[in-house]
Amino acid sequence: MRLLECEAKEIYARYGIPVPKGVRVKAGEPVPADLATIGPELVLKAQVEVGGRGKAGGILPATPADAPRVAEELFQKEIRGVPVREILIEERLLIRHEFYLSILVDRSSRQPLILFAEAGGVDIEQAARETPEAVRRVTVSPLLSEVPPFALRDLLGDMVKEFGPVVNRLWKVFREKDAILAEVNPLVTTDRGVFAADAKLIVDDNALTRQGITVNRDLSPREREAESHGFSYVELDGTIGVIGNGAGLTMATLDLIQFYGGRAANFLDVGGGADKERVKHAVRLVAGRPGVKVILVNLLGGITRCDDVARGILDAGVAQTVMVRLAGTNEAEGKAILDGRGYPMFATMDEAVKAAVEAGA
């Protein structure tokens, strides 16, 4: 789950990474009167979990006097489709130079990877593509509680003294907060030292509970409901509701729908060993979305019992036609339960998808 900039900065500050002075203001709350204590010049930043916020008009300069008016202006905006519910009012830093620093999980080396670049404040993915040599990279063993000096030298060259402490503090944040990305972009130098001018922190979804995070804000309400049933669910905008077991098979089902010219309404993986109740909930959840014309169930059972699945489909009793492809344990029993009750059944994925695409058109 991606944290807001202000939340990330509060964490960074607790770990000793300097952040600009600032105050959070929620929509509907008054802007504090003593803004002059923050600084003579201010920056107001929309707190939304999307990238490219500055370009989309989500960051505005202000003086303490006109800050309330600028804040009001920001609260009226949507940044890349996301309404502004909170803003961060910060002192404006007198920046000498901008750098880039991040730590992420590197799949290839199976280790954390630290990135540092002397050009900050930019789209780092683009910079890395255009001038890969400008981004310095060091992998560090996940077993180490500190970044070893040699790795700091490899990463920072002659800037170890200036940035070494910040790198080690961010390393601590990354490890202790179960981050999959801890980013400071830009990391800036000023005549008062080094500051994290911006902050991005993404927490591993598999570690939210132990991080004390109870609600995954990255998910829509329906996605959260699905999660509470143990489903993996993603909303799309088509007409064919999809239920599969296993992420790969469900994705392949969506791809096949697209291949045959249809549009899926969702991705729903019921997980392993789906029983009657889970299947019933899944069918109802998918059917409950407006615009869903037909539902396609594609289940390949190892643990999953086809007779359980068939009973779940029957119990759901939804208005839309449910097309069924079942293979695996108790396949014959499952088919017998649905036979003659208006549930078209198919032996292969391709046949089932073709029929669903026709019905969903």
Partner 1 sequence: MIYGDRHTGILVQGATGQQGSFHIPHMNTYARSVGGRGVVAGVTPGKGGQEVHGVPVYDSVRAAIAEHDVGAAVIFVPAAAATDSIMEEAHAGIPVIVAITERIPVHDTMKAIAYARMEGATVIGPNCPGLISPGEVKLGIIPAHLASRGPVGVISRSGTLTYEVIHELTRAGIGQSTVVGIGGDPVIGQTFTDVLERFRHDPATKAVVVIGEVGGALEEEGVASTDIPVVGYIAGVSAPPEKRMGHAGAIVEGGEGDAASKIRRMEALGVPVARRVAEIPALVKEFL
- How many of the chain's residues bind partner 1 (CB under 8 A)? 49
* 3-class SS of residue 241: strand
Residue 233 annotated as catalytic: no
- 350 near partner 1, judged by CB under 8 A: yes
26 closest CA partner among 108, 114, 86 = 86
- 212 near partner 1, judged by CB under 8 A: no
Q: Give dist(CA 154, CA 339) in Å, integer.
A: 67
Query: Which part of the chain contacts partner 1 (CB under 8 A), choosing from 59-67, 154-162, 175-183, 289-297?
Result: 175-183
Catalytic member of 183, 235, 277, 343: 183
Residue 260 annotated as catalytic: no
> Which is nearer to partner 1, 148 or 157 (by Cβ)?
148
The Cβ of residue 152 has, within 10 Å, a number of other Cβ atoms equal to: 24
Q: Give dist(CA 171, CA 149) in Å, integer.
A: 13
* 3-class SS of residue 260: coil
* 3-class SS of residue 254: helix
Report the site for partner 1 in 284-303 (rule: CB under 8 A): 300-303
Cβ proximity of 268 and 232 under 8 Å:
yes
CB of 127 to partner 1, least distance (A): 12
Query: In terms of DSSP bridges, do strands 240-244 and 294-300 run parallel, antiparallel, or are they unpaired?
Result: parallel
> Which is nearer to partner 1, 20 or 334 (by Cβ)?
334
Query: Which x/- pattern, by CB under 8 A, does the window 219-258 give for partner 1?
Result: -------------x-x-x-------xxxxxxxxx-xxxxx
Tokens, residue 51: 């990238």
- 332 near partner 1, judged by CB under 8 A: no
Specify the DSSP element, H or E, that contains 342.
none
Which residue from 91, 154, 204, 331 is in contact with partner 1, where contact means CB under 8 A? Answer: 204
Which residue from 66, 141, 288, 339 is in contact with partner 1, where contact means CB under 8 A? Answer: 141
Q: Any idea which residue has 């503090």 for tokens?
A: 169
> Which is nearer to partner 1, 235 or 315 (by Cβ)?
235
- 134 near partner 1, judged by CB under 8 A: no
Give, in order, the Cα–Cα distances in Å from 303 to each of 269, 274, 286, 314. 14, 8, 23, 20
Query: In terms of DSSP bridges, do strands 266-269 and 232-235 run parallel, antiparallel, or are they unpaired?
Result: antiparallel
CB of 44 to partner 1, least distance (A): 26
Q: Which amino acid is at 262?
A: G
Which residue from 92, 169, 175, 284 is in contact with partner 1, where contact means CB under 8 A? Answer: 175
Specify the DSSP element, H or E, that contains 130.
helix 124-130
**Phi, psi angles (nearest 5°) of residue 103:** -130, 130
The Cβ of residue 208 has, within 10 Å, a number of other Cβ atoms equal to: 15
- 79 near partner 1, judged by CB under 8 A: no
Ranges assigned E (strand) in 52-166: 59-62, 78-79, 82-83, 86-91, 97-106, 111-117, 135-139
Catalytic member of 86, 90, 100, 233: 100
Query: Which part of the chain contacts partner 1 (CB under 8 A), choosing from 19-27, 89-97, 202-210, 332-340?
Result: 202-210
- 214 near partner 1, judged by CB under 8 A: no
- 322 near partner 1, judged by CB under 8 A: no
Which residue from 5, 98, 269, 307 is in contact with partner 1, where contact means CB under 8 A? Answer: 269
Give me the residues that bind partner 1 (CB under 8 A), please: 105, 107-108, 110-112, 125, 141-143, 175, 178, 180, 204-207, 210, 232, 234, 236, 244-252, 254-259, 264, 267, 269, 272, 300-303, 327-328, 348-350
Residues identified as active-site: 100, 183
